[in-house]
Structure 1
Amino acid sequence: MSMDMELLKQRMQSIEERIQAACERANRKREEVKIIAVTKYVDAEAIRELLDAGIEHIGENRVQDGVPKYEQYGDRGTWHFIGHLQTNKAKEVVGRFPYIHSLDRLSLAEELNKRGEALNQVVFCFLQLNISGEETKFGLSPNDVLAFLRETSNMRHIKIIGLMTMAPVVENTEDARPVFRGLYEWKDRINEWAFPHAHVEELSMGMSSDFEVAIEEGATYIRLGSVLVKP
C-alpha cells in the first residue's frame, strides 16, 4: 500500500499540533513524547514512506508480519515490538526489535533472558500492566508486579525500562484518564523499590483515540495507527 505523501504530511502536522497542545496543558516539554507508528495494517513500502516522512519509531504487533518488514527496513528507524508475544516467537524478535513493549509473564521473561544471553545483549523491555482489569486484555495484574520483579531480579539480560498499558475503548476519552494515571503511579512505585534491573523511565500508553489524555498523564511513547496510517 503506497501512501499519499501529501496526506501523510497533513496528518503528521495535525498530530503534531495536538501533541504540542497536550504538552502545554500538562506543562511538559514536547521532546518528552515520541510517536510510534503502528504499522500492522500497512506493507513494507508504506513503512519506507513513513520513514522518509520523518517517523523515527516503527511498532509491529505480529511476528510473522513484522520480521519481513524489519528485514527490509530494520536499518532505518527504531523498531518496537508492541503486540502480545508468544514465548516460542521470542527468538525471532530478540536481535531484531530493540524494544519489546509486551513483557507480561515469567515464562516470557525467562525466554527473553535466554535469547539475550545467547546473543550477548540486553533486551530492553516494557512491563505490560493490565491497569483496567479487563479480562480481554493481556498484561500482568498490578497485584503480581512485586513478585514478578523479585522473580526476574537475577536475569541479567533483560532490563525493564518502561511500562505499557492499554486503556478501555470508551466514547469519552476522559474515562481513560484513571488508567493512564494508574500506570504513572506504578512507575513511581517500582522505582521506589529500586530493583537493579527495573528502572522505569518510559511509559508506553495512548493510541489514536486517546493519546492526548495519555500525554497529559505522562506518556513518553504514544502508539498511533489509524490516525496516522489509515488508507
Structure 2
Amino acid sequence: LIHSVDSIKLMDEIERQAEKHNLDMDILIQVNISGEETKSGISKEEVEDLLKYAGELKHVKVKGLMTIAPKTDNSVTNRLHFDNMRQLFVDIKQKKYDNVNMVYLSMGMSGDFETAIECGANMVRVGSAIFGARDYSQNK
C-alpha cells in the first residue's frame, strides 16, 4: 500500500511499474487538508480530478486517503482538520468513483493519533512512539 500519491505523474509511474510486474498496486491519495506549505499532498479541491483519472487505470487501485496534520500543541485545530478529512472520505465513498474503494483513512501520528481515531482514522502512523524520535544529526 503506497500512502502518499499526490499527482497524476506519480500515479502514471506506479501504473507503469505495476503493469511491468503484472500486479495491482493499492494506493492512498495524500491530501494536504490543512493547506500548510510544509506538507505534501494535493488540495481538497484537486482530489476529484485525481480520482477521476484513477478510474482510467488498470493496475492502480485507490483504497483511501491519507493526511499529515500540522505539528501543533492545539488539538482543537487538528481535530478540525481530521474532521474535514473524514467528511471528504465519506463524500468520496458516496460518489462511487470507478476504481476507487474508500477503505482506509490514514491520519494521525504518534503525537495526535488518539484525536485522529476519534475523528474516524482507521490507520495511524506511530513510528516515533515505538522507535523513538529520529536522529537527524547523522544526515549530513
The answer to whether TM tops 0.5 is: yes
CA contact (8 A) 2:14 2:60 kept: yes
CA RMSD of aligned residues (A): 1.2
CA contact (8 A) 1:174 1:213 kept: no
Q: 1:115 aligns with which of 12, 17, 20?
A: 17
1:170 aligns with 2:72: yes
Letter in 1 for 2:122: T
What is the distance in 1 between the residues matched to 2:53 and 2:132? 41
Partner of 2:58: 156
What is the distance in 1 between the residues matched to 2:96 and 2:73? 38
Q: Deviations over 1:118-149 (max 9, x none)?
A: 11111000100000001111001111111112
1:220 aligns with 2:130: no
Q: Deviations over 1:38-71 (max 9, x none)?
A: xxxxxxxxxxxxxxxxxxxxxxxxxxxxxxxxxx
Partner of 2:44: 142
Partner of 2:26: 124
Partner of 2:138: none
Letter in 1 for 2:129: V
Q: Deviations over 1:7-27 (max 9, x none)?
A: xxxxxxxxxxxxxxxxxxxxx
How many residue pairs align between the two structures?
133
**What SS is found at the alignment partner of 1:206?**
strand
What is the distance in 2 between the residues matched to 1:165 and 1:197? 20
The structure richer in helix per residue is 1
| Structure 2: 5+ residue stretches without partners | 134-140
Letter in 2 for 1:182: N
Identity of aligned pairs, percent?
Answer: 38
Q: TM-score, normalised by structure 2?
A: 0.90
Q: TM-score, normalised by structure 1?
A: 0.56
**What SS is found at the alignment partner of 1:162?**
strand
1:207 aligns with 2:109: yes
Runs of 4+ in 1 over 4 A off after TM superposition: none
Partner of 2:88: 186
Q: 1:198 aligns with which of 87, 100, 113?
A: 100
| Structure 1: 5+ residue stretches without partners | 1-98
Letter in 1 for 2:130: L
Q: Displacement of 1:163 after TM fit?
A: 0.6
Please identify the structure whose Cα radius of gyration is greater.
1
